[in-house]
Amino acid sequence: MERIYVLDTTLRDGEQIPGAKLTGAEKLEIARQLAVLGVDVIEAGFPASSPGDFEAVRAIAREVRDTGVTALARAMPSDIDAVWEAIREAESPQIHIVLGVSDIHLHGKFQRSREDILAMGVEAVRYAKKYTSSIEYSTEDAGRADLEYLKKTVTAVIEAGATVVNIPDTTGYCDPEEFGRIIRSMKNEIPNIDRVILSVHCHNDLGMATANTLSAIKNGARRIEVTINGLGERAGNTALEEVVMALKVKPEFYGAATHIRTEEIARTSRLVSSLTGIWVQPNKAIVGSNAFAHSSGIHQDGVLKNRQTYEIIDPRTVGIAQSRIILTARSGRHAVSARLRDLGREMDDTRLEQFHRQFLELADRKKEVYDEDLLALLAEQERTPEDRGYELLGVQVSLGTNRTPHAVVTLRFPDRREAAAEATGSGPVDAAYSAIDQLVGKKPRLLEFSLQSVTEGIDAQARVSVRMEIDNEIFIGRGTDSDVVLSGIKAYLDAWNRAMLRQNPTLAPA
């Protein structure tokens, strides 16, 4: 297997994303984790940009061992001096010089000729050699450069002493075939290319950064420049986790591998996300919250029978404990039964069928059903007919600005009769409670009403607990529903039913 070296530029290019500014201490924390992850080189920053960045790079170079440290310099002596001063104490320091190579950059940004820029790059490499023999030269915007001029530039900087040559698709312009052709041309048509490591750095403006990087590997690149979670300018950079896992999943196709400790990928992703405040989209490959989650009933059934039916990566490989079965209205009995078993509850087919119907009723009202939801349904199902006492058959509430809340409640009584009552109140729950009091024929003293969210999200189930005094005794009732009013009504009736079972009077009206 060919060795692919990994340069992580999360702390330089990744930090350039708007809103992702890191403190020196945060940069150092991420750098430590990158070393644990096993990256070969950490690009720690741009020392000439600010005193704070200089100090952060120097702190990383001083402390982080077992990995190379580099930092970015423009092709000018002052920048190169700053980089060296910042990284000189690193275990394996490397100076990274960048200079444009496309006519768009030469004429639009530098307003210089090709010959002038080429001479400027060569001189920068020679200048850096007085500090170290480990020098990377990046041909900025190579993806849009004239190929012959690009090859001429690469040949010259190698002769000047560069040990790594980077071919960046700076604007994400190339497609995989096009970028692969550029790399293949570098490998086959530059006589001294065997004296350097050929590196690539791809941006994701057209969503092809990972594909372009993999194409470059197929065509001879042996170092990749990537970021955690694909962070970076504009649409971001190639995501480290995507390329590393593509190589791991298809070794026979690429014939190449990194030395990344893949089980650290999820932990590193979470750390970077937390410290930058840039959250990972749920459907992000490898590290998104849904990357190993299954909500389709067909998929759930397949994964429960054999994980490989719908997963090409064992989640443990990237540091995730297990796949997630997301229970929704599309989940079948198999998925629900499996989750119940995880919760320690077994059911026969008849009871499971009944439970699944109740589950679907809840799932139609919620985006996702959590374990707590299942436990609440179980508690409701396991109550005997004698426990039920008063049963809620229906409720209708109305309220609005400058309108008194009104409720109509229909109950089934312990003797199986049905009746309805209506009332107004200070709010919909108060109105419903007043209607229930009319039906029961007594008004308890409500001592406490407690509401909390059982699960996550705007559609979360609400759990209500009430404590009330009935005939000089205290009773507690609990109710759970995705509708706050209904959960409150269920708790109120639960307390009434507990009172009925305790005292055993005839509570229904004559």
Confidence at 89, pLDDT banded by 50, 70, 90 = very high
d(CA 90, CA 107): 37
pTM for this entry: 0.70
3-class DSSP state for residue 419?
strand
pLDDT value, residue 290: 73
> In this predicted model, which residue has the larger pLDDT, 153 or 460?
153
pLDDT at site 350? 83
Tokens representing 149 are: 């001029």
- The encoded tokens of residue 268 equal 């590193």
pLDDT at res. 159: 98
Report the alpha-carbon angle 103-104-106, nearest 5: 55
Which pLDDT score is estimated for 241?
98
Q: For residue 288, what are the contacts with CB-CB under 8 A and spacing of at least 6?
A: 280, 281, 282
Query: Who contacts 173 (Cβ-Cβ below 8 Å, separation ≥6)?
Result: 143, 144, 205, 206
CA dist., res. 343 & res. 404, Å (int): 44
Q: Which CATH number describes the domain made up of 2-276?
A: 3.20.20.70
Instruction: State how far the Cα of 353 lies from the Cα of 434, in Å rounded to an integer.
Output: 36
Q: State how far the Cα of 369 lies from the Cα of 57, in Å rounded to an integer.
A: 46
8 A C-beta contact, residue 77 and residue 102: no
Domain 387-503 in CATH 3.90.650.10? The answer is no
How confident is the model at residue 505, as a pLDDT? 44
CA angle 148, 150, 151 (to 5 degrees): 65
Looking at residue 289, its pLDDT comes to 72
Measured CA distances, 241 to 220, 279, 302, 429 (Å): 20, 15, 26, 50
The DSSP bridge partners found for residue 136 are 96, 164
| Cβ neighbours around 267 below 10 Å, total | 15
Q: Are 258 and 41 in contact (CB under 8 A)?
A: no
Residue 294 pLDDT grade (very low, low, confident, very high; cuts 50, 70, 90):
low
Task: Write 337-341 long-range contacts (CB < 8 A, 24+).
Answer: 338/304, 339/371, 339/374, 340/374, 340/378
β-strand 92-100 against 324-325: which pairing, if any? unpaired
- Check whether 131 has a pLDDT greater than 70: yes
Residue 506: predicted pLDDT: 44
How far, in Å, CA of 360 to CA of 358, rounded? 5
pLDDT for the residue numbered 160: 98
Is it the case that residue 397 has pLDDT exceeding 80? Answer: yes
Could you identify the residue written with the tokens 């749920």?
282
Chain segment 338-357, per-residue pLDDT in tens? 777 766 777 888 888 888 88
**Which tokens is 462 given?**
């609400």
| Alpha-carbon span 455 to 445, nearest angstrom | 30
Calpha distance 328→127 (Å, rounded): 62
- The domain spans of the chain are 2-276, 293-381, 387-503
pLDDT per residue over 213-263, tens digit each? 999 999 999 999 999 999 999 999 999 999 999 999 999 999 999 999 999
What end-to-end distance do the CA atoms of the chain give, in Å?
86
pLDDT at 509 over 50: no
Helix axes 176-189, 209-218, angle to 10 degrees: 30
State what percent of residues in the chain have pLDDT above 90.
Answer: 60
pLDDT in tens, 435-451: 999 999 989 999 989 88
Burial class (CB in 10 A: 0-12, 13-18, 19+), 505: exposed
Residue recorded with tokens 């007085």: 130
Length of the chain: 510
20 pLDDT band, cuts 50/70/90, is confident
Asked if the domains at 2-276 and 387-503 fall in one CATH topology, the answer is no
